[in-house]
Structure 1
Amino acid sequence: MERSFSAHEALMVGSGMRVVAVSEIDGELDEGTLEYAARHLADRHPILRGAFTGEPGFPRLTVPDPGARATAGSRSEPATPYLHRVADLSGELDAPTRWDTGPLFRIALVREGGAAGANTATGRNAANYVVMTMPRACVDGMSYLALLREFWSTYTEACAGRKSPAVPVQPILPPPLDDIILDKYSQADLQAYVEGRAKEDALNPPAHLPTPAAVGTSPGPTAEFDSIRVGLDASETNRLADAARARSLSLNSLMCGILATAMRPALEPAAGTVTVTCALAADLRRRLTPPIPDDRVQSAASGCPIRLDVDADPDPFQVAAQMSERLRDNLQAGNAEREIAAFSRLVDHCPPTFVVTNLGRVPRPPLPGHNRFVSLRLLPLAHMPVPFVVLTRLEGGLDIDFPFSRAWYDERQIDEIAAEARRVIAGITA
Structure 2
Amino acid sequence: MVIEPVTALERPLAASESAFALFGTPIHFGQRLHGRLDFDALTAAVEDQLVLHPVLSARIVAVAQGHVLRLDPSVPGPRLGAGDDIHHVGAPFALETPLLRVAVAEEGEEHHRLALSVHHAVSDGVSALTLLHTLWRSYTARVTGRPLLLPPPTTGLPGSVEDQFRARFSTEELDAFLADRAAGMRGLAPACIPALAVPDSAGPGAGVHQRRVRLSAEGFARLTGLAKAARISLHALACGIALRAVHSQTPHPDETAAMTCLSSLDLRRRLRPPMPPHEMALAATASHAVVEVGPGCHPVDIARKVLAQLREAVLNNTVQKAIAATAELMDDVAHAPISVLVSNLMTKTPPLCLPPGLTSDPIQGFALPPGPLPSVFLSGSQDGTAGLDITLVMASDWFTTGQTDELADAIERELHRALPE
Specify if TM > 0.5. Answer: yes
| CA deviation map 1:35-58 (0-9, x unaligned) | 100111101111111111242661
Tell me which residue corresponds to 2:80.
Answer: 83
Answering whether residue 26 of structure 2 is matched by residue 15 of structure 1, we say no
Tell me which residue corresponds to 2:129.
Answer: 145
Q: Check the 8 A contact 2:208/2:393 in 1, yes or no.
A: yes
Instruction: Give the Å deviation of 1:393.
Output: 2.6
Which AA in structure 2 matches 1:359? L
Give 1:387's match in structure 2, choosing from 374, 378, 384.
Answer: 374
Answering whether residue 364 of structure 2 is matched by residue 356 of structure 1, we say no
SS at match of 1:386: coil
Give 1:199's match in structure 2, choosing from 178, 183, 189.
Answer: 183
Q: Check the 8 A contact 2:371/2:398 in 1, yes or no.
A: yes
Tell me which residue corresponds to 1:324.
Answer: 307
Tell me which residue corresponds to 1:42.
Answer: 50
Q: Distance in 1 between matches of 2:191 and 2:177?
A: 21
Q: Check the 8 A contact 2:12/2:69 in 1, yes or no.
A: yes
Q: Check the 8 A contact 1:107/1:133 in 2, yes or no.
A: yes
Give 1:111's match in structure 2, choosing from 106, 115, 139.
Answer: 106
Q: Distance in 2 between matches of 1:311 and 1:197?
A: 25
Answering whether residue 412 of structure 2 is matched by residue 422 of structure 1, we say yes
What runs of 5+ residues in structure 2 fail to find an aligned partner?
1-8
Q: Check the 8 A contact 1:51/1:61 in 2, yes or no.
A: yes
Which AA in structure 2 matches 1:398? L
Question: How many residue pairs were aligned?
Answer: 405
Give 2:327's match in structure 1, choosing from 341, 344, 347.
Answer: 344
Instruction: Give the Å deviation of 1:407.
Output: 1.3
SS at match of 1:347: helix
Deviates more, 1:400-409 or 1:268-277: 268-277
Tell me which residue corresponds to 2:390.
Answer: 400
Query: TM-score, with normalisation over the residues of structure 1?
Result: 0.88
Query: TM-score, with normalisation over the residues of structure 2?
Result: 0.90
Q: Distance in 2 between matches of 1:192 and 1:208?
A: 29
Q: Distance in 2 between matches of 1:234 and 1:99?
A: 41
Tell me which residue corresponds to 1:120.
Answer: none
Q: 1:160 to 1:261 in 2, by over 3 A?
A: same
Q: Distance in 2 between matches of 1:383 and 1:203?
A: 23
1:84-233 superposed matches below 5 A: 84-94=81-91, 97-100=93-96, 102-112=97-107, 114=108, 116-117=109-110, 126=111, 128-162=112-146, 164=148, 169-215=153-199, 223-233=206-216
Q: Distance in 1 between matches of 2:408 and 2:66?
A: 38
Q: Distance in 1 between matches of 2:205 and 2:128?
A: 28
Instruction: Give the Å deviation of 1:164.
Output: 5.0
Which AA in structure 1 matches 2:355? P
| CA deviation map 1:140-195 (0-9, x unaligned) | 01111221111000000000234759886235312111111012112122122222
Instruction: Give the Å deviation of 1:93.
Output: 3.0
**% of aligned pairs identical?**
29
Which AA in structure 2 matches 1:377? Q
Q: 1:16 to 1:246 in 2, by over 3 A?
A: same
Q: Check the 8 A contact 1:285/1:292 in 2, yes or no.
A: yes
Tell me which residue corresponds to 2:268.
Answer: 285
Which AA in structure 2 matches 1:254? L
What runs of 5+ residues in structure 1 fail to find an aligned partner?
70-75, 118-125
Deviates more, 1:234-243 or 1:199-208: 199-208
Give 2:33's match in structure 1, choosing from 25, 28, 46.
Answer: 25
Cα root mean square deviation, aligned: 2.4
Which AA in structure 1 matches 2:225? D
Q: Distance in 2 between matches of 1:384 and 1:339?
A: 19
Give 1:5's match in structure 2, choosing from 8, 13, 24.
Answer: 13
